[in-house]
Amino acid sequence: MAELLPKPRPGRRAFLGGVALGSVAAFTGSHGARGASRTEIAFASAKFFGKETVAQVVEMYNASQSRVHVTYVELPPPSASTEVHQLLVQQLARQSGSPDVFTQDVIWIAEFAGAGWALPLDQEFGADVRKQYFPGVVQACTWGGKLTALPWFIDSGMLYYRTDLLGNEAVPETWDELVSLAQAAEKSGHARFGFLWQGKQAEVLVCDLVEFVGSNNGAILGPDGKTVMIDDDKSVQAVQFMRDTINRYKISPQDVLSWDEEPSRRPFTGGQAMFLRNWSYVYTIAQDPKVSSVVGKVGVAPLPHFPGGRSAACLGGYQYGVNASTKNREAAIDFVRWMSSPATQLHFATELGLAPTRPDVFDDPKLAQSQPFMQKLKPVFLGATPRPVTPKYAQVTLVLQSSVSRALADGNVKQALAGAKDRIAAIVAS
């Protein structure tokens, strides 16, 4: 099998940047064969945090059968979405067939399909299989009428809160209520931080933006996918509120402007914060006594909204893709079928806190036991708001990341968003 795979090229270490050296071997297919009859394939995926690692799950697959051996290439965590994207684009654009299988953030599906890098999977996963998944996820995995990704997990933004600090108060449903409760918790000395979110100039800032703007009935793009709405009053008010959490209400530290998921999660599970906006993976960590000082004191709820608005959660999640240039199509399909199977999805949900994309697994009593909040928040997952769906998303997000970051730092919100509008309009029109 090894001779079918491309030879390493000089200089590739340089563009693989921070990826571990073991990864280079896997990308180039230079790993040794594990038994003559096994087809060797490489699987590249972002790294996830939980009680187990993706590598362990891959080993479960390797141990479950004797036809295929998968080498896992660990990419940076999903909070480094922009970097993970860049690594995959460089690799897929070479059309060398490696990695054979990869995982893709939901925001890359259109781009990878549009470029012809993701193998259409309709033949292998027909209508009878597709109906075993949530229809919205299947839709997100479909581009140009073809299924180009196989569902893995669904993510959505949510509000974590300290049940012990909330006492008899109701969980906040509006941002005003959250501000009052957060200020009271800080004032009483029970929490060092009222509310933590992610303002780093990175993909997660766009996720938080979708939620603040969406909860004020605003949007980045209109329903036609072309009209840019990011400088409408509703969006300007929402971004102003993001800044106000730091400068005016003083419920969020200045540090949130350089924090992504993990730096914002740590003070919360360390017992220093009242509220946290984050993804579903945090719950498992919050309940783990080895790393959390708030075990049994954490509730999860839909994010608050502005007056007259509705709670909005950003749609996230990763899905499997098969490299259109793979030389090991059958093995790759066998592997993604196993990875997306009910049993593996349940395992990812209970051990890594990644929400299933299959309704049957979502409703499984074993999931209710380990992740009770997931079933409670099922409408949040299923009603999550997508980021703009376009093959040019990689350009759109960079504009949003830099403009919103500038607005949060200097306070010229209207000006920054008007600039973003013009640049995004030019990108989506071309």
The whole-angstrom separation of Cα 205 and Cα 230 is 14
- 141: contact with ligand GLC by CB under 6 A: no
Of residues 100 and 203, the one with the C-beta less far from ligand GLC: 203
Residue 92 amino acid letter: L
Give the binding range for ligand GLC (CB under 6 A) out of 52-60, 93-101, 201-209, 399-407.
Answer: 201-209
Of the candidate residues 19, 149, 207, 257, the single one contacting ligand GLC (CB under 6 A) = 207
Q: Closer CB to ligand GLC, residue 304 or residue 353?
A: 353
- 259 scored as a contact of ligand GLC (CB under 6 A): no
Is residue 219 a contact residue for ligand GLC (CB under 6 A)?
no
Q: Which DSSP letter does residue 174 get?
A: B
Q: Distance between CA atoms of 425 and 430, rounded to whole angstroms?
A: 9
Contacting ligand GLC within 72-131 (CB under 6 A): 78-79, 81, 105-107
What one-character-per-residue DSSP string does 7-48 give?
A: PP-TTHHHHTTTS-HHHHHHHHT-SPPSSTTSEEEEEEEE--
Give the bridge partners for 70, in sequence order. 41
| Residue in 52, 81, 104 with CA at minimum distance from that of residue 348 | 52
Q: Is 317 in the site for ligand GLC (CB under 6 A)?
A: yes
Contact between 396 and ligand GLC (CB under 6 A)? Answer: no
Report helix, strand or coil for 309.
coil
Nearest to 159 by CA among 279, 292, 281: 279
Cα dihedral across residues 329, 331, 333, 335: positive or negative: negative
Q: Are 315 and 385 in contact (CB under 8 A)?
A: yes
What residue is closest to ligand GLC based on CB? Answer: 316
Q: What is the DSSP string of 129-144?
A: HHTTS-HHHHHHTEET
- C-alpha to C-alpha distance for 48 and 192, rounded to whole angstroms: 28
Tell me whether residue 40 or residue 203 sits nearer to ligand GLC (CB atom): 203
Q: Check binding of 199 to ligand GLC (CB under 6 A).
A: no
CA distance 184 to 222: 38
**211 counts as binding ligand GLC under rule CB under 6 A:** no
Does position 316 interact with ligand GLC (CB under 6 A)? The reply is yes
Which of 19, 204, 339, 396 is close enough to bind ligand GLC by CB under 6 A? 204
285 binds ligand GLC (CB under 6 A): no
Map the footprint of ligand GLC across residues 237-256, applying CB under 6 A. Answer: none
Amino acid at 248: R
Q: Tell me the per-residue interface mask from 22 to 61 with ligand GLC, x by CB under 6 A, - otherwise.
A: ----------------------------------------
Least separation in angstroms between residue 315's CB and ligand GLC is 7
Question: Counting contacts by CB under 6 A, is residue 424 touching ligand GLC?
Answer: no
289 φ/ψ angles, rounded to the nearest 5 degrees:
-60, -20
**CB of 71 or CB of 201, closer to ligand GLC:** 201
Q: Which residues of this protein are in contact with ligand GLC, per CB under 6 A?
A: 78-79, 81, 105-107, 155, 203-204, 207, 279, 316-317
